[in-house]
Structure 1
C-alpha cells in the first residue's frame, strides 16, 4: 500500500483545468471535527477539494478528546478492521512526515507519537491457549506478533505481577496524543484553504430535484455544498436520521482512570489482559471491563477499559471505576500505591457488526459516512480518510471498500429496522 503526497490544488471541474472562480461555498461539508472527520478533511483537501469542517462543540472535543490515543493492531482478528488497522499503522509515520513539510518539523514529537509496542498477557491456562491461537491467526494475516515465554515477560515489563502464563509482543502497536493529532490534520486543512467552524450544529440536509444533497442545514443557516460527510462519531445515527437515512450507530460509553505521574519505565508498553479482545468484540449492552494499562509521555498512567451501552448517560458509576482499579493493580501491583488524580469518560460509535461505515450512502446521493469505529477511531483514522477521499475523487481505492459500505449484509437490515 503506497500513498502519494499531493499538494493542495484547485479541483478540476468537468475536465476543464482552468474553470472560472467557484462560489465561496465548499465542495464538501464534513460534520464532525474529531480524528475521523479531520482525517477525511485532510485527505480531501490534499486532492484539491474545498472543505468546510463543522462541529457543534469546540474542535476535537468529543470522542477524540476522551480517548487514550491507541494505535493498535494487537486487538483485531483477521478481517476488514485489521486491514484498516495495518494500513493506518504503516501510514501514521509517513503522514506525520508529510504534514511536517507544511506545519513544521517535529510534528510527530509534538503529537506524542510513540511506537512503543504492545504486550498482551494471559494469567490463566484457558487465556493462554486462546491468546496463542489468536496471535497465530493474526500472523497469517500480516501482523508481527512475537510469543514471549513466561520466564522472559519481565524483561519487557519488570513491574508486571508474577504468574503470567503466556504473553505476545506486538511491535506495531503505537500511541499518539489524539487531540494533538486531530489538531495537526485540521491545521493542514486550514492551511490549504479549508474552513473550520466550531459551535455550529448540523441539523440535516437539503436535496435538489434529482434527490442529491445540495446543502447542509445548520444552526447558523444553510450551507450550500456538493457533498456532506457524516463524521459525527456516536452522534452519527442521529444526524443520519435527520438526513432521512437511518444508520444503526449507537453510543457505547467507556471510562478511564488517570494516575499521578510515575518514573519513566514503570509501564513500558501498552499492556492488557487477553480478555480485552473479547470485550472489544462483544455486542452486549451490559457492562464489560478488561485490564488495559499504559503510560503517557508525561508520566501518568491510563487505566481502562470499560464498555457499556447506556445511551448518552454521562453519570460515572463508582463501581466501574473500582473494578478498573482492582483489575489494574492485579496486573501491576505497583499501581496499588499510586493515587488516581482523575477519571474521564466518553462515548464511542458502536455498530452491530463492529465495523466502521465508510463511503457513499446509496439512499441519498451526496451523503457520505465515516463513522462506527467504536474505540479504534484514532488508530483507523488515516486509512479511513484515505479510502473515503479516494472514493469521492473516483480513484481506485487502495483496499476493497465493500466491507465498510452502508448496504452491507446485517447493517442494512439494522438500518431498515431502525427507520
Structure 2
C-alpha cells in the first residue's frame, strides 16, 4: 500500500471507477461524493456498452472505447466476486437501426472509415430481411442497420452500486453529502486541500477532479481547462414484458427484468433535469416505429438527467502542469469506459503507472485554440 493518499472529487461512475482502480493498485483513496443531490449522469445513462461509430472525429477515442469493452468482463466478474453486485453486463453485439437510406449509407461510410483507421472494430450492414433474423419484431419504418459484435449493455445504477460497495470493501474512505467548492494547492509540499461549501476540508498528496458538471468550476483552480456544458437526456421505461429483444439497439433495449428502456434525447437546457411531454412523445413514437409491439406496452416511468459534455463530445484526461498531482477526468461515456477508467486511468492518476499512450489528444488544452471550431454528434 502506498504511503500517499489520493482524493477523488466526485463519486459518480467516472470518479468511482477511477477511485477503485487506484485503490486496487495500492493507493490510499478518499472519495468525496455529493450524493443524491448531485446531477447524477448515471441516472440518465442509457446503459449501452458501445464502441460502434464512436471516435469518428478522433481515432484514439475509438481505440480507447474498443479496448474498454475488452476489459469489461473482468470488471463485471470482479465486482460480483467481491460484492455480489451484478452490473448486468451482456455483450451479445448491438444494432444501430436507421429510418432512411441516406442515414444508412452515412452509417456504413462512417463505420468503414473507423475500422480502416483504427482496426479491430468489426461491423456488418444489414437490410430489413436480415435484421429480422435477429430482431423479428422490427417495423416497416426500419430500412436498414448495422451490427457490431463487440457491443452490449449493462445496468448503470447497479454498476455504480457495485463500485461503491467495492470501494468500501477494500477500505476506501467514502464521504457522501459533500459539495466541494475550492481546491487549494501548496507548492512547497505539493499537497492539495479540498474545501467544501460548509468549509470542511480534506488534505491529500494527489487529487482527481471527477465531479462531472462541477469540474467546469474546479479545474481552473489547479491550472486545468474544462469547458464542460450540460446536456439533458430523457429516458422512458415500460412495464415488464415477455422477452422479445435479445440485442440492445440504439433506440431501445430490454433489461434482464423485462422492462424496455427507451431513449434518449440530447438537449441543451442548462441545469433543468426535468421531463417534457413533447420529448416523451417523440421517444415513444420512435420506439413504436422501431418495434410496433411496444404500442401495447404501458409506460411506467419517465425521467431526465444531466450529462457533462465537452465541445467535441470527447473526454478530458489530464494532469496539471502547474499543480503536479492534480488530475482532471470527465467523460460522456461513464458506462462504456468504466473498466478502462478502473484498470488504466486509476493507476495512472495514482502515480502507479505511466500515462497511457496517445492520451495527449484528450487534454483540455485542445479547446484553447481560438481559431478552432468544435462540434459533437450527441
Q: TM-score, normalised by structure 1?
A: 0.81
- Please tell me whether residue 96 in structure 1 is matched to residue 76 in structure 2: yes
Deviations 1:118-139 (A, max 9, x none): 1112232212211221222233
Report the Cα distance in structure 1 between the residues aligned to 2:15 and 2:46, rounded to whole angstroms. 18
Moved over 6 A (4+): none
Picking from 99, 106, 110, the partner of 1:123 is: 99
Match of 1:380?
A: 337
Give secondary structure in 1 for the equivalent of 2:236.
Answer: strand
Match of 1:233?
A: 212
RMSD value, Cα: 2.3
Deviations 1:71-92 (A, max 9, x none): 1012314412222211110001
Deviations 1:336-383 (A, max 9, x none): 222211101111111012111113122433321111x22x22111221
Q: Bigger shift: 337-346 or 397-406?
A: 397-406
Any gaps of 5 or more consecutive residues in structure 1?
1-9, 14-25, 273-291, 415-419
Q: Retained in 2: the 8 A contact 1:235–1:251?
A: no
Q: Bigger shift: 337-346 or 307-316?
A: 307-316
Q: Retained in 1: the 8 A contact 2:53–2:111?
A: no
- Please tell me whether residue 166 in structure 1 is matched to residue 125 in structure 2: no
Q: Retained in 1: the 8 A contact 2:184–2:221?
A: no
Q: How do 1:196-215 and structure 2 match up within 5 A?
A: 196-210=174-188, 212-215=190-193
Report the Cα distance in structure 2 between the residues aligned to 1:114 and 1:361, rounded to whole angstroms. 37
Q: Retained in 2: the 8 A contact 1:295–1:302?
A: yes
Q: TM-score, normalised by structure 2?
A: 0.89
Report the Cα distance in structure 1 between the residues aligned to 2:370 and 2:352, rounded to whole angstroms. 28
- Please tell me whether residue 330 in structure 1 is matched to residue 289 in structure 2: yes
Displacement, 1:171? 1.7
- Please tell me whether residue 87 in structure 1 is matched to residue 67 in structure 2: yes
Any gaps of 5 or more consecutive residues in structure 2?
372-378
Report the Cα distance in structure 1 between the residues aligned to 2:169 and 2:369, rounded to whole angstroms. 38
Match of 1:47?
A: 25
Give secondary structure in 1 for the equivalent of 2:54.
Answer: coil
Match of 2:376?
A: none
Q: Bigger shift: 113-122 or 341-350?
A: 113-122
Report the Cα distance in structure 1 between the residues aligned to 2:223 and 2:55, rounded to whole angstroms. 34
Give secondary structure in 2 for the equivalent of 1:306.
Answer: coil
Picking from 211, 216, 221, the partner of 2:200 is: 221
Distance 1:299 1:349, change over 3 A: same
- Please tell me whether residue 356 in structure 1 is matched to residue 315 in structure 2: yes
Aligned pairs, how many? 365
Q: Retained in 2: the 8 A contact 1:255–1:304?
A: yes
Q: Retained in 2: the 8 A contact 1:359–1:391?
A: no
Picking from 402, 410, 413, the partner of 2:360 is: 402
Displacement, 1:169? 1.3
Match of 1:18?
A: none
Q: Bigger shift: 382-391 or 253-262?
A: 382-391
Report the Cα distance in structure 1 between the residues aligned to 2:127 and 2:279, rounded to whole angstroms. 32
Match of 2:261?
A: 302
